[in-house]
């Protein structure tokens, strides 16, 4: 369209120039040309005078077209009847050059992570700041939420060159997220460690008490030596939970797999998590470390020596109230709906 407009302007200027030349020839003696600058008739052999104004007019028109093209990229030709515009030709209300960008919580000055796992995220950021060099800090703090590892091996300076997963727990058990991804990470044998922060709740403060680093590349320890016998069962449980199937369809299979993993001395255990339809949160099957104290006692070979940069003293005490669980009614009494409370009630009634 711009090219066509340019040709049209040049064509009109040339027509005007020809008309003016004819008119000027009638007023000046034959063989002479009226100079529009001086107003005098000059010999016609000075073609520079004849073309001077027209060239300037053409250049000015061309510059206007180029300026229009550069400053307004949203100008489009009117739609012709019966011709449908493509998506790229439709006018847009967006300001040119602007891109929509979602801010990462770590890059907003003064903004702290929120939610029930906010304390873990704050400690994670403190660890990242301690073990990642300044030139890579922005990349480490702004990894996407679904990244496979909390800290990629190429970002930090700890010896061993492992990918890092950071976990925080108040108990001896440690949740490791999606079961199938955890199995893949353990079996993949790509260098991977977990930095586990244990803390205690003191009033409205969470105080880190211990940091443990464990090597996750040991399938026999974490999954058990006979894991292949239940692999298909775990995949089926995962499918049923993510499909939103009722608990009674997979509950018996879950108990079978959990009993098998315990008997096989696996340190990890599958733990189904119920979804929340109100919050549009799907259920999931996750993997949890059964007992951190036990694994440190039974498998010292997987414990990674501490580092000066990874010390509990380097972590902050956080202002954070204890997590409040939803209430449930059990035998006419209102109890906290967490696993420990429900197990205690069930044991008392058995």
Confidence at 9, pLDDT banded by 50, 70, 90: confident
Return the pLDDT at 87.
46
Return the pLDDT at 139.
87
Q: What are the b/e assignments for 277-291, b being 16+ CB within 10 Å?
A: eeeeeebbbbbbbbb
Confidence at 227, pLDDT banded by 50, 70, 90: very high
Return the pLDDT at 69.
55
**β-strand partners of 269:** 288
Is pLDDT larger for residue 250 or for residue 334? 250
Taking the complete model, does pTM exceed 0.85, yes or no?
no
Burial status of residue 134 (CB atoms within 10 A of its CB: 0-12, 13-18, 19 or more): exposed
Confidence at 66, pLDDT banded by 50, 70, 90: low
Longest dimension (CA), the chain: 125
Element housing 284 (H / E): strand 284-289
Position 344 pLDDT exceeds 70: no
**What tokens were used for 79?**
């739609």
Average pLDDT, the chain: 75
Least confident stretch, 148-162, 213-227, 243-257: 148-162
Query: pLDDT exceeding 90 applies to what percent of the chain?
Result: 38
**What tokens were used for 143?**
């990894």
Confidence at 324, pLDDT banded by 50, 70, 90: low
Burial status of residue 124 (CB atoms within 10 A of its CB: 0-12, 13-18, 19 or more): buried
Return the pLDDT at 117.
52
Query: pLDDT exceeding 70 applies to what percent of the chain?
Result: 61
Position 255 pLDDT exceeds 90: yes
Return the pLDDT at 309.
85
Alpha-carbon gap, residue 331 to 325, rounded angstroms: 18
Return the pLDDT at 239.
95
Confidence at 27, pLDDT banded by 50, 70, 90: low
Return the pLDDT at 271.
95
Position 151 pLDDT exceeds 80: yes
pLDDT winner (highest mean) among 116-120, 327-331, 332-336, 342-346: 116-120
Distances (CA, A) of 256 to 182, 248, 298: 20, 13, 24
Calculate the dihedral angle through the C-alpha atoms of 145, 148, 153, 156, rounding to the nearest 10 degrees.
Answer: 20
Is pLDDT larger for residue 310 or for residue 301? 301
Phi/psi at 121 (5° precision):
-70, -40
Is pLDDT larger for residue 127 or for residue 72? 127
Return the pLDDT at 234.
97
Least confident stretch, 78-87, 155-164, 227-236, 267-276: 78-87
């Amino acid at each position: 369209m711009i090219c066509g407009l340019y040709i049209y302007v040049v064509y009109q200027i040339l027509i005007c120039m020809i008309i003016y030349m004819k008119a000027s020839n009638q007023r000046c003696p034959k063989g002479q040309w009226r100079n529009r600058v001086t107003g005098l008739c000059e010999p016609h052999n000075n073609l520079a005078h004849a073309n001077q104004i027209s060239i300037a007019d053409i250049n000015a028109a061309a510059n206007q077209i180029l300026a229009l093209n550069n400053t307004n990229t949203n100008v489009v030709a009117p739609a012709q009847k019966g011709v449908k515009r493509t998506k790229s030709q439709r006018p847009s209300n967006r300001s040119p050059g602007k891109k929509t960008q979602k801010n990462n919580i770590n890059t907003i000055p003064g903004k702290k992570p929120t939610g029930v796992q906010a304390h873990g995220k704050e400690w994670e950021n403190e660890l990242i700041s301690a073990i990642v060099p300044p030139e890579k800090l922005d990349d480490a703090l702004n990894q996407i939420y679904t990244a496979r590892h909390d800290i990629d091996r190429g970002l930090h300076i700890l010896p061993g060159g492992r990918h890092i997963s950071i976990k925080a727990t108040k108990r001896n058990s440690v949740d490791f997220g999606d079961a199938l991804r955890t199995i893949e990470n353990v079996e993949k044998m790509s260098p991977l460690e977990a930095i586990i922060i244990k803390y205690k709740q003191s009033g409205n403060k969470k105080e880190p008490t211990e940091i443990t680093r464990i090597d996750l590349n040991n399938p026999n320890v974490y999954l058990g030596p006979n894991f292949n016998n239940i692999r298909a069962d775990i995949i089926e449980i995962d499918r049923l939970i993510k499909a939103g199937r009722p608990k009674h369809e997979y509950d018996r299979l879950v108990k079978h797999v959990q009993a098998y993993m315990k008997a096989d001395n696996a340190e990890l255990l599958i733990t189904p998590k119920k979804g929340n339809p109100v919050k549009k949160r799907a259920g999931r099957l996750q993997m949890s470390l059964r007992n951190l104290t036990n694994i440190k006692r039974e498998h010292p070979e997987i414990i990674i020596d501490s580092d000066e940069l990874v010390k509990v003293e380097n972590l902050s005490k956080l202002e954070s109230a204890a997590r409040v669980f939803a209430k449930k009614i059990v035998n006419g009494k209102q109890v906290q709906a967490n696993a420990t409370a429900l197990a205690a009630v069930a044991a008392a009634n058995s």
